[in-house]
Amino acid sequence: MNTIILHIDMDCFFAQLEERENPRFKGQPIVVGADPKGGEGRGVVSTCNYEAREYGIHSAMPISIAFKKCPKAIFLPVNKEFYAQVSENIFRLIDKITDNYEKVSLDEAYLDLSEQINNYSEAQKIGEQLKEYILRQEDITCSVGIGNSKMIAKLACEENKPDGLKVVKPSKINSFIKSKPITSIPGIGPKTRETLEEVLKKQNLEVKDIRSLSQKQLVDEFGKKGKDIYNKVRGKDNSEIEESATRKSIGKELTFEENTNDPEKIVNTFQKLSKKVAKKAEAQHRLIKTVVITCRFEGFNTYNRQVSFSPVNPSEELIYKKGIKLLLQLITEKAKPVRLLGIRVLFE
C-alpha cells in the first residue's frame, strides 16, 4: 500500500488565537509568553506572530531579549486552557477525516491517508478541505504538507508557511530536499551538524552534501542514528504514525479508473481490499465486531452496509465473506455501474 501522509500545523497558533480574540491587535507584533517586566522578565517566549518574527523574535527566546528587540510589541500571557479548548475543536474536525493520526502537540498532527485515497490529487483535496473547515469554524489559518513519509510531509508543510499547502510527490522528493540545510532533516541538530561540518570540512552543508558519506562512515560516526541519517538525506523515512487514540476502525477504499459493471473486476478488487484491511487489522491483535462496506455508484450516490457479530479475531476469509455478501446484495439492489468500493472493520 502506498503511504500518503498529511502533516498539519497551525500558523503561530497561540498568537493567532490572541489576534482572533483581540482584533485590535491585528497587524501588530504580538508575543505570547512570560511577563517581560519592562525588560527584566525572566521567562521565555512561547510563540509570537509573524510580524514579531520580523524583529528576530522566536519561540523559546528569553522574554527580556524579545523585549529589547521590539519593546513596542504586544506582550500577552499564555492562556493555555483556552488554546487547548480550540485545539480540541480542531482535532474534532480532523476526526471527521480519519482516526488514523498522530497528535504531536496542541497544534500539530500527522494524518495517515493511505487507506482512504489512492493518489496525491485526492490528498490535496483533503488538505484543502481541512484548511477550509478550520478557517470556517475557528477562523484561523494553518499549513498543510503532503508526502510519502512523516519527514517529507513536515518539510512540505514548513515550506509554504503561513496558510500554505504543499504536495511533494515521490518523484519530486530528491529535488525538493537536496538543497535544504541539513538541520531541516529531523535528527540533525546543531551538534550533529557541527560534527558533519568537521567530517566534510565544509560549512553551510546541504542535504545533498551528506550523500557523499557512505552508510558505514555515518554509522562509525553516529552509531545507529547514522543509518537513519543515511536514509533521510535520500528522502527515505520509515517512522510510523503513532496513533494517539486507539483506532476505532481500519478500512480501505478504491475508485475505479472507469465506472464498471464487470462482476469479475468488482469481486477481484473487493478481495484485494479485504486482504489489505485484514492484514492491517490482524497486526493490531484486537477483536473486530463489525464489517462495513461502501459502494459508490455512477451518479455519485454512496451507500454503506454493515454487519455486526460477536467479537472475533480478524482474518481475511472472515472479512471477505461478511463483506462480499453485503456488497453483492447492494449491487443487485441498485443495479448501476460501480465507481468506488470500500471495506472497513470496526474493533470491539
Task: Give the span between the Cα atoms of 195 and 184, in whole angstroms.
Answer: 16
Task: Give the span between the Cα atoms of 195 and 215, in whole angstroms.
Answer: 16
Query: Which of positions 12-31 make contact with Mg ion (CB under 5 A)?
Result: 13
Q: What's the min distance (Å) between Cβ of 13 and Mg ion?
A: 5
Query: Which of positions 56-115 make contact with Mg ion (CB under 5 A)?
Result: 107
Using CB under 6 A as the binding rule, whether residue 12 contacts ligand TTP is answered as yes
Q: Out of 14, 67, 110, 176, which residue is the one contacting ligand TTP (CB under 6 A)?
A: 14
Three-state DSSP at 198 gives helix
| CB neighbour burial string for 42-74, b if at least 16 within 10 angstroms, e if fewer | eeebbbbbebbbebebeeebbbbebbebbeebb
Quick one: which segment of 8-16, 144-152, 170-178, 304-312 binds ligand TTP (CB under 6 A)?
8-16
State which residue, 60 or 335, has the beta carbon closest to ligand TTP. Answer: 60
State which residue, 14 or 176, has the beta carbon closest to ligand TTP. Answer: 14
Catalytic annotation present for 282: no
Q: What's the min distance (Å) between Cβ of 65 and Mg ion?
A: 21
Q: What's the min distance (Å) between Cβ of 21 and ligand TTP?
A: 14
Q: Which does 59 bind (CB under 5 to 8 A by kind): ligand TTP, Mg ion, none?
A: ligand TTP
- Look at phi and psi of residue 60 and say left if phi exceeds 0, alpha if psi is from -120 to 50, else beta: left
Of 19, 108, 132, 317, the catalytic one is 108
Contact 169, 152 (CB under 8 A): no
Q: What's the min distance (Å) between Cβ of 93 and Mg ion?
A: 16
Prior bond of 71 cis (ω within 30°): no
Q: What's the min distance (Å) between Cβ of 337 and ligand TTP?
A: 45
Written in H, E and C, the secondary structure of 245-289 is CCCCEEEEEEEEEEEECCHHHHHHHHHHHHHHHHHHHHHCCCCEE
Query: Which of positions 204-263 make contact with ligand TTP (CB under 6 A)?
Result: none
List 290's β-bridge partners, or say none.
Answer: 308, 346
Contact 87, 105 (CB under 8 A): no
Q: Out of 5, 6, 8, 10, which residue is the one contacting Mg ion (CB under 5 A)?
A: 10
C-alpha grid cell, residue 201: 570540512
Q: What's the min distance (Å) between Cβ of 104 and Mg ion?
A: 10
Residue 230 burial class via C-beta count within 10 angstroms: exposed 0-12, middle 13-18, buried 19 and up? buried
Using CB under 6 A as the binding rule, whether residue 138 contacts ligand TTP is answered as no
How far apart are the two ends of the chain, measured CA to CA in Å?
A: 25
Using CB under 6 A as the binding rule, whether residue 161 contacts ligand TTP is answered as yes
Using CB under 6 A as the binding rule, whether residue 108 contacts ligand TTP is answered as yes
Query: Which of positions 41-80 make contact with ligand TTP (CB under 6 A)?
Result: 46-47, 59-60
State which residue, 41 or 162, has the beta carbon closest to ligand TTP. Answer: 162
Q: Out of 10, 57, 117, 140, which residue is the one contacting ligand TTP (CB under 6 A)?
A: 10
Q: How far is CA 297 from CA 264, 300, 307, 336, 338, in A?
A: 17, 5, 21, 6, 4
Size of the site for ligand TTP (CB under 6 A): 15
Packed helices 215-222 and 190-200: angle between N→C axes, nearest 10 degrees: 130
Contact 22, 158 (CB under 8 A): no
Q: Out of 9, 19, 112, 253, which residue is the one contacting Mg ion (CB under 5 A)?
A: 9
Q: What's the min distance (Å) between Cβ of 244 and Mg ion?
A: 17
Using CB under 6 A as the binding rule, whether residue 20 contacts ligand TTP is answered as no
Q: How far is CA 290 from CA 97, 184, 267, 318, 323, in A?
A: 20, 43, 20, 11, 10
Q: Interface residues with ligand TTP (CB under 6 A)?
A: 9-14, 46-47, 59-60, 105, 107-108, 161-162
* Catalytic residue list: 108
Q: Interface residues with Mg ion (CB under 5 A)?
A: 9-10, 13, 107
